[in-house]
A and B are shown apart, each in its own frame.
Chain A
Amino acid sequence: MDSDAPYLPEEILTNILSRLPVKSLIRFQCVCKDWKNLFKTPSFMAEHVLHSTQQDSLLLLKSPGYKCNPEYVRLIHRDMQVLEYQTPPSSVRQRDIIGSSNGLVCLILMYKSSFILWNPATREVLRVPKAPNLYHTGICDLGFGFSPIVNDYKIVLLSLSSLDDDGVYLVQVFSVSKWSWKEVEVGKLKGMVSFVAPGFSFDGAIFWFGFGCKPRFRASKRFLISFDIATESFALITIPKSSLTSESRLTTYDNKLAMLSKSRVESTESFSIKLWVMEKRVGTSRKRWTWRKIYTSNPFPDRTYFLRSLTIWRNEIVIVGVTGGETVLVFCNLHTNEFKMLTMGKYSIGTVISAIS
Chain B
Amino acid sequence: MSSSVEAITVLSSDGDEFKITVSAAKLSKPLNWMLEDVCFSDDCDEVPTIEVNSKTLVKVIEYCEKHAPRANSGASDSDAEELKKWDIEFMKMDVKDILFHILMAANYLHMEGLYDLACQTAADLMKGMTVSQIRKIFHIKNDFSSEEQEQLRRQHPGCSFD
Q: How far is A9 from B100 in the complex, measured between Cα atoms in Å?
A: 10
Chain A 1-34, CB within 8 Å of chain B: the 1/0 string? 0101111110111011101110010111111111
B69 to chain A, nearest CB (A): 26
Chain B 60-101, CB within 8 Å of chain A: the 1/0 string? 000000000000000000000000000000000001110011
Selected contact of B159 from candidates A4, A5, A20, A26, CB within 8 Å:
A26
Query: Which residues in A have their C-beta under 8 angstroms from that of B103?
Result: 8, 12, 16
Query: Which residues in B have their C-beta under 8 angstroms from that of A9?
Result: 104, 107
Q: How far is A334 from B125 in the complex, measured between Cα atoms in Å?
A: 37
Selected contact of B134 from candidates A21, A26, A28, CB within 8 Å:
A28
A123 within 8 A of B: yes
A20-B127 contact, Cβ under 8 Å, with A7-B139, A30-B152, A32-B135: yes
B120 within 8 A of A: yes
Chain A 228-244, CB within 8 Å of chain B: the 1/0 string? 00000000000000000
The reply to whether A33 and B144 form a contact with Cβ atoms under 8 Å apart is yes
The reply to whether A17 and B123 form a contact with Cβ atoms under 8 Å apart is yes
Query: Which residues in B have their C-beta under 8 angstroms from that of A16?
Result: 103, 119, 122-123, 126
Query: Which residues in B have their C-beta under 8 angstroms from that of A20?
Result: 123, 126-127
The reply to whether B120 and A19 form a contact with Cβ atoms under 8 Å apart is yes
The reply to whether A123 and B156 form a contact with Cβ atoms under 8 Å apart is yes
Query: Which residues in B have their C-beta under 8 angstroms from that of A28?
Result: 126, 131, 134
Chain B 15-52, CB within 8 Å of chain A: the 1/0 string? 00000000000000000000000000000000000000
The reply to whether B127 and A32 form a contact with Cβ atoms under 8 Å apart is no
The reply to whether B134 and A31 form a contact with Cβ atoms under 8 Å apart is yes
The reply to whether B97 and A4 form a contact with Cβ atoms under 8 Å apart is yes
A51 to chain B, nearest CB (A): 9
Please give the number of chain B residues whose Cβ is less than 8 angstroms from any Cβ of chain A in the complex.
34
Interface SS majority for chain B: helix
Q: How far is A8 from B119 in the complex, measured between Cα atoms in Å?
A: 11
The reply to whether A32 and B141 form a contact with Cβ atoms under 8 Å apart is yes
Tell me the total A-B contact number using a CB cutoff of 8 A: 83
B142 within 8 A of A: yes
Please give the number of chain A residues whose Cβ is less than 8 angstroms from any Cβ of chain B in the complex.
29
The reply to whether B101 and A6 form a contact with Cβ atoms under 8 Å apart is yes
A126 to chain B, nearest CB (A): 13
The reply to whether A27 and B159 form a contact with Cβ atoms under 8 Å apart is yes
The reply to whether A8 and B138 form a contact with Cβ atoms under 8 Å apart is yes
The reply to whether A27 and B131 form a contact with Cβ atoms under 8 Å apart is yes
Query: Which residues in A have their C-beta under 8 angstroms from that of B139?
Result: 2, 5, 7
A29-B96 contact, Cβ under 8 Å, with A2-B137, A5-B137: no
The reply to whether B96 and A5 form a contact with Cβ atoms under 8 Å apart is yes
The reply to whether A5 and B160 form a contact with Cβ atoms under 8 Å apart is no
A30 to chain B, nearest CB (A): 5
Tell me the A15-73 residues at the B interface (CB within 8 Å).
Answer: 15-17, 19-21, 24, 26-36
Query: Which residues in A have their C-beta under 8 angstroms from that of B144?
Result: 30, 32-33
The reply to whether A13 and B152 form a contact with Cβ atoms under 8 Å apart is no
Q: How far is A33 from B145 in the complex, measured between Cα atoms in Å?
A: 10
Known: A4-B97, A27-B159. 20 other contacts (CB 8 A): A5-B97, A5-B138, A5-B139, A8-B104, A12-B107, A12-B119, A16-B103, A19-B120, A19-B123, A26-B159, A29-B152, A30-B131, A30-B161, A31-B134, A31-B138, A31-B142, A32-B141, A32-B142, A33-B144, A34-B140
A-B pairs, 10 with minimum CB distance: A5-B96, A19-B123, A16-B122, A30-B161, A15-B119, A32-B140, A16-B119, A16-B123, A6-B100, A2-B136
